[in-house]
Amino acid sequence: MTSTLVFQFDIHGGSQQLLDTGQLEARRVVNEIFRLDDEGHDWETIKDEVVERSNHVKNTTQRLFDKATDALERYYDEDEYGHPRQNHDESFPIRMNHGEGYQLSVDEASERVSFRVTALKRNFVRGTLKSSPHDIERVKTALTDDNWRVGTAEVVRKRDRHELHVNVTHETAEVADKEHAKTFIGVDVNEDCVGLSAVTESGVEDSVVIEYPDIKKTRHEYFTVRKRMQSAGQTTLETEVQDEEQRFVHNQLHQVSRNIVEWAQQFEDPVIVFEDLKDMRDDINYGTRMNRRLHSLPFAQLQDFVSYKAAWQGIPSEKIDPEYTSQECVDCGHTTRSNRNGKRFQCVHCGFQDHADRKAALLICAKGLEKLNRNVPALNNPPFVRVRRHGNGLSEPADHDPVSSVRGYQTDGETGSVSD
C-alpha cells in the first residue's frame, strides 16, 4: 500500500530559485528524451545519453527517464494522442529517489523532519518540512518503522511556493477486496461520539457508541479563547493556541480511530463504511458561523485516520450517500426530522426506538450492503446499546437494553469507559 504525503519547505540552506532551476533542468531532460525518441533512437542509447548530459544526479535522471518513457509507452499503446514532444510546463516536477536524490531524517532534539534535496548535481537545498501533524507523524513512522519504505518524491511548484510529495509504502499491508467483505462496519461520526454497528447479510452482529465529550468540550473552550484573542488583536497568541488545540484534538482522534479499527478487527472480513462527507450532512444546524467552524474539522479527519489505520490492517473502506441517515427509520423507512430528538430516535410512524447515533450506524451498514449489492437483513431488533467513554472516566457496567439506555442516556448518563 502506497500513499503520497504532502509537505512544504522551510528552507535553511540553498534557495527556492535553486529548486526552480532544478525543475527547468528536469523539463529539459524529459524534452530531450521525447526528441531523441521521435528521431528514432533506441531507449537504451537515449538513457545513456541523457544521463551523461544531465545536470541532475544519475538516480534523478533515471526517474525522469522512467516518467518520460511511461508517457511514450502510453502513446504507442493508444496512438490517438500525438507523440509527446515539447513540454512547456515551467513547473515540471523533479522526481527523486530517497538517498541520492533527496534525503529525509528525524532530528531527535527538535523532533522535526529535516530534508536535503539535490536540486542539481552538488547543489543542495536543506531545511525542515512543514505539514499537518498527521502527515508529519506518518513520514516519521515511515522513516523509523521497518515495515515502511520511503520511496520516490517529487518537488512540485504550487503557485509561489514549492511542495515535496513523498511516496511512502507499507511493505506488507494488502487491503482486502471489499467485494469479498462479510461484515459491514457502519461508522457514524458526530461531534461528541461515534456510533458503530457491525452487520452481515444475516443480521446485526454487534454495536457500540464511543463517546468523546472531552474533544467537544475542549474545542468549544478553545474556540471561545480564540474569539477573545481575535477581538483583542492577539494574532500570534491565537496561532499558538490554535496549534495547541489541534495537537490535543489530533491525539484524541488518533486514539479514538485506533479503538474503532480494533473493534472492527474482531469481525469476519470487515469493510468500514462511512458517510461521504462531500455531501453536506442533513442533520446539523449550520445556522451560525460558530456551528460551522465547530463542526467542520473532526469528521473528515477522524474518517481519514480510521481508513488509513484500517488499511494497514488490510481492511478496506467504502463511502455511502449520507442523505437522511439520521432521520430514516431502520424498521419502516419513514423519514422525518421529528424522528430524532437529541440522542434519542423514535419513529413517529411505527414507534421504533433506538440510540440515534447507533441507529445511524445501522443505516450506514444497510446502505453499504445495498451499494455492494448484498442482501440487507432486518434491522428492527438490534442488540443492547453499549456506550463507552473514551478518555479517563471510571469503568461502569456498560450493557443496557436499547430503550432504557436511550432514556438513561439523558438522565443518569450511565457509561462504560474505554481508554487506549
Which residues are at the interface with Zn ion (CB under 5 A)? 329, 331-332, 334, 347, 349-350, 352
Name the residue nearer to Zn ion (CB basis): 237 or 350.
350
H or E, element range at 165: strand 161-170
To Zn ion, the closest distance from the beta carbon of 205 in angstroms equals 22
Q: Residue 267's closest CA among 341, 186, 344, 189? A: 186
Residue 411 beta carbon to Zn ion: minimum distance, rounded to whole angstroms: 24
Nearer to Zn ion, 35 or 334 (CB): 334
In contact, 97 and 60? CB cutoff 8 Å:
yes
**Shortest gap between Cβ of 338 and Zn ion (angstroms)?**
12
Residue closer to Zn ion by CB (options 64, 366) is 366
**According to the 3-state scheme, what is the secondary structure of 287-309?**
CCHHHHHHHHHHHHHHHHHHHHH
The dihedral region occupied by 212, where left means phi > 0, alpha psi between -120 and 50, and beta the remainder, is: beta
* Least distance CB 346 / Zn ion (angstroms): 9
Enumerate the H helices of 110-175 as residue ranges. Answer: 133-144
Tell the smallest beta-carbon distance from residue 215 to Zn ion (Å).
32
Distance (Å, whole) CA 270 – CA 261: 10
Nearer to Zn ion, 114 or 335 (CB): 335
Whichever of 232 and 350 has its CB closer to Zn ion, that residue is 350
Q: How far is the CB of 3 from Zn ion (least distance, A)?
A: 42
The DSSP call for residue 177 is P
Rounded (10°) CA dihedral 173, 174, 175, 177:
-170
Question: How distant, in Å, are the alpha carbons of 124, 259, 275, 298, 394 from that of 196?
Answer: 50, 11, 12, 17, 21
Closer residue to Zn ion in complex, CB, 232/348: 348
Q: How far is the CB of 350 from Zn ion (least distance, A)?
A: 3
Residues 145, 299: Cα–Cα separation, whole Å? 28
Closer of 274 and 352 to Zn ion (Cβ): 352
Q: Nearest approach, Cβ of 130 to Zn ion (angstroms)?
A: 51
Nearer residue to Zn ion within complex by CB, 151 or 377: 377
What angle separates helix 133-144 from helix 289-312, to the nearest 10 degrees?
10
The set of cell numbers assigned to 30 is 524529459
Of 184 and 352, CB closest to Zn ion: 352
Question: Contact, 410 vs 342, CB < 8 A?
Answer: yes
Min. distance of Cβ 385 from Zn ion in angstroms?
17
Check residue 386 and report its DSSP letter: B
**Three-state DSSP class for residue 66:** helix
Residues 6+ apart with CB under 8 A from 271: 176, 178, 181, 183, 184, 185, 315, 316, 317, 318, 368, 372
